[in-house]
Structures are given as C-alpha cells and as structure tokens.
Amino acid sequence: MTPPSLLVRELIDAIGEEAVVWRPEDLLVYEYDATIDRGQPEAIVLPANTDDVVALMRICNRHDAPITPRGAGTGLSGGALAIRGGVVFGMNRMRRILEIDVENQTARVQPGVVNLDLGTAAAPHGLAYAPDPSSQRACTIGGNVAENAGGPHTLAWGTTTNHVLELVLVTPDGEVQRIGHATRDQPGYDLVGCVVGSEGTVGIVTEALVRLVPAPTSVRTLLAIYDSVREASNAVSAVVASGVVPAALEMIDKTTIAAVEPVLHTGFPLDAEAVLLVEVDGPPSQVAAEGGIVESILRRFEPREIRSATDPEERERLWAGRKGAIGALGQIMPNYYLLDGVVPRTKLPDVLDSVYEIADRYGLPVANMFHAGDGNLHPCLLFDEREPGATERVLEAGGEIMRVCVDAGGAITGEHGVGYEKRDYLPWIFSDDDMAAMQGLRSAFGATENFNPCKIFPAGHGCGEAGGGHAQQTIAKFGPKAFV
C-alpha cells in the first residue's frame, strides 16, 4: 500500500486520522458531483470547526496544494470537483443548527446543515427556510450559499442571497472574517452579497445566520394539465403578467412524467404534453382570492383539466413528482446532462421549441422540469455514456441550447452556477473588463489560483489549454463572442 504523503501526514496530525480520507479507493466517491466531469483529489479533510478549517488551510498553503470546498456534492456545474487535485474540504461534519431565534426569525447554522433539516427544525416554531432547491434532502446550506441556490418557492421569496444576513468566512489565506450583520441595511459594502453566489471561490463559509420566514397558514396547489407545451408556457407568462406572485410555478413535460409516474405515482397523466404545478399560499382569504385568479388565467389556455389540492398529503405527492423528477429519469437512460439556462419568461415558448428541435436533431431524449415562473429552464438530455460518441453529442447539443438561451436575452445559468462546466461560456455574457473586475474582487479576498482552481473564469494554469471544461467544442462552433 502507498504510504501517506507528507501533506497527508500533516493533515492527519492536525485533525486526526478519522477526519482525513486519502486511500485511493476511498477517494473515488469524492471524484464527482452531479455533473459529468471528474476530478481526483489527493485527500479529503473533514473539519469539525472554524479553527480546524484555518489550520488545514494553512497546511495546504504551505504545501502549495489546491483547496476545494465541498458540501453534499449535488452541484450541477462541477464547482466541488478537485480539477487540479489537492485537498477537498468536506464540510459535512459541521452540521449543527446552533440557534433558532424565534423572535427575530433567524437561524444560526454550520455550513454542513442539510437544507431540509433546517426547514424541519424551523417548522414547530411556525417558521420556514424559504430557499428549497429540489435537492433539499441532501444539499447543504454552505453549498446553497456558494451557489445562491433557488428552488420552486423562491419565485415569491427570492433566492438564497435574500435570506443570508451574516457569514463567518475563512479566506483563502486562512484569516477568519465575520461579515454582514444580524440587522439589515448596515452601512458599508455588501460583502455577504459578494460571497453568496461566488461558487466557493473566495473562501470557506463556516457559519451562516439566515432569515426564517413565517410558514404559510394555508396553501393551495393547482395541477394544470395541458396537451401543448406552448399553451402551458403561455399560461406561465400570463400568470406572471397578472401581478399575482404565486409561491411556486413549475412545469413538467411529457418525458419527465413518463419517468416519474411509474415510480412516484403522483397522478400526473402519462399522455399530457405538460403539467404546471402552481402554488399560492398565505392567509386563507388571500389564498382563496389569488387561487381563483390563477385558476381563471390557467383556464384561458385550454387545459385538459385543472386539479386542486389543499390537503398536505396530496400536495406532498404532487411535489414529490417534481422534486424527485431528476432521480426518476434513470428509468429512461442511465446518464443525464442537466442544463440550467435562464430566459425572459415571454421567450419560454420559443426557447422550449428550440430545445426540443435541438435534442431531436441530435437524436437525444430530452426531459424538461423547471422553475417556469423564474424563466429558469432545466432541459435534461438523456444518454448512455457507454455508447461511443454519446457524451460528445450531448455536450454539443447542450452548448447549442445554452447559446439559444443567450441569444434569447438570457444567460448560461439560472441557479446552478458556472463552476467548471460552463466557464468557457462566460465570455458569451461578460466582456473582458467585466471578468477582470470579478477576478479583482476574488483577489481582494486573498484567493490565488490554488483556491478552488479552474472555476468560473475561462483558462487558468493547469486546467487544460483554453479552459479544460467540456464547453470548448461549442466555443469552437459559435466562437468566443461576448455580446455585452
């Protein structure tokens, strides 16, 4: 057996053998996240507190070893992958909810707290944590902060950035910074705003103070069943244009239904082209009024049927169909490539037409389930990576879909981040000056090329020529054009 390196021995001395993973067979499970890229670290460290993070970071810096923060590894842009090896900081042992302050409606948590666990802990106090990614059973608050995660219910409440008040951050040079404040609207720069959504490139979050919101006193969930994706998309635009802001507005298409229904038995009709899940919540009188308005708008677009659920079990079953959709796609094909684009909502019908056309042209099944109310598309291309050339075909089709989103006035990510996977697409939406300004901000936090290397920005030492992510093929086709 290969003995541990000097770096690994020092890491073990700092936090103990049981908190350092370094044997090759154990490293395998940390090679991937939810994307199709891979990166093998030299070691994983599992710190128990902020002091551990500082000590470990200093050791890595002394050894010039790349550092990659990691939560649950559910990320969909390769942000937690150790592309240049080095040490992955797995934050999962730091999973304590330190305080729920009911009066001030806040929670102080460690970064490894699982999103759903926070919601569950807040519920007995009549409170909720609003950002609810579909991965909420696994993903962590640290990962949510890094990705500025959204979810079905962020249409009304906003994404993670609207819910973080204060952070403890260990900067890449090993300094501990407490940024933000429990009271809002503090003077000075919005440093919390800089860290949320920075995709783990400016430091490691070791504590977060987040807002909780009052749990709704009543909820109505509508399931609108359509025989045409275009009509369903038009209904989405009309609901949003009406001024009513539903708590959630999600679309699920026929391919997704075919995967979900046999395993989750949600009651989605197998022959529908698309279903919309629309939720309104609040005091009963508001739910009755807004539910009525939404239903009448949905009816204008010739749904086959509209069902309404108010009892918690029925609602839960419908949401299980949405939140379990990606996992269920394994029924159809062993691999998926989940894209994340955002477009102006009025462009949804045309962009969806293009998505189906592109997938068809490449001979790939495509499933769509997405936060329609946000204009946030998630086309999911299905394939079998064992088939020669399949991965390349999927990546090229994915690049074309991204390009369609950009050309429609949208962007290359709505909530999953740029990460490793889409960094070569960044010049499609930002000029060189924009990117230089962002790099400058990153440097101001003390980040060098060793801190979460090869993420967000194109190119970079040791990441492969002209990038290294899969995006290059598409760049070659469309050119590195910045449209800003």
Ligand X SMILES: Cc1cc2nc3c(=O)[nH]c(=O)nc-3n(C[C@H](O)[C@H](O)[C@H](O)COP(=O)(O)OP(=O)(O)OC[C@H]3O[C@@H](n4cnc5c(N)ncnc54)[C@H](O)[C@@H]3O)c2cc1C
75 binds ligand X (CB under 6 A): yes
80 binds ligand X (CB under 6 A): yes
139 binds ligand X (CB under 6 A): yes
The number of residues making up the chain comes to 484
Q: Which is nearer to ligand X, 109 or 287 (CB)?
A: 109
Least distance from ligand X to the Cβ atom of residue 144, Å: 4
DSSP codes joined into one string, 333-394: -SEEEE--EE--GGGHHHHHHHHHHHHHHTT--EEEEEBGGGTEE-EEEEE-TTSTTHHHHH
Of 204, 287, 381, 397, which one interacts with ligand X (CB under 6 A)? 204
146 binds ligand X (CB under 6 A): yes
The one-letter code for the residue type at 51 is D
140 binds ligand X (CB under 6 A): yes
Least distance from ligand X to the Cβ atom of residue 70, Å: 4
Of 119, 142, 427, 468, which one interacts with ligand X (CB under 6 A)? 142
Burial of 168 by CB count in 10 Å (0-12 exposed, 13-18 middle, 19+ buried)?
buried
The 8 Å CB, 24+ separation contacts for 229-232 are 229/253, 229/273, 229/274, 229/349, 229/352, 229/356, 229/368, 230/349, 230/352, 230/353, 231/301, 231/302, 231/303, 232/273, 232/274, 232/275, 232/276, 232/301
Q: Which is nearer to ligand X, 129 or 301 (CB)?
A: 129
The one-letter code for the residue type at 398 is G
47 binds ligand X (CB under 6 A): no
Strands 67-70, 20-21: pairing kind: unpaired
The one-letter code for the residue type at 187 is P
- Closest-CA residue to 168 (of 83, 108, 239, 115): 108
From residue 205 to residue 224, the character string flagging contacts with ligand X as x (rule: CB under 6 A) and all else as - is: x-------------------
Q: Which is nearer to ligand X, 87 or 146 (CB)?
A: 146
Of 8, 46, 50, 74, which one interacts with ligand X (CB under 6 A)? 74
71 binds ligand X (CB under 6 A): yes
Of 44, 56, 60, 91, which one interacts with ligand X (CB under 6 A)? 91
Q: Please report which helix (H) or strand (E) contains residue 482, including its range.
A: none
Two tokens at 129?
Answer: 């944590």
Least distance from ligand X to the Cβ atom of residue 118, Å: 12
Q: Which is nearer to ligand X, 67 or 275 (CB)?
A: 67
134 binds ligand X (CB under 6 A): yes
Site of interaction with ligand X (CB under 6 A): 33-34, 68-76, 79-80, 91, 111, 133-135, 139-140, 142-144, 146-147, 149-151, 199-200, 204-205, 326, 415-416, 452
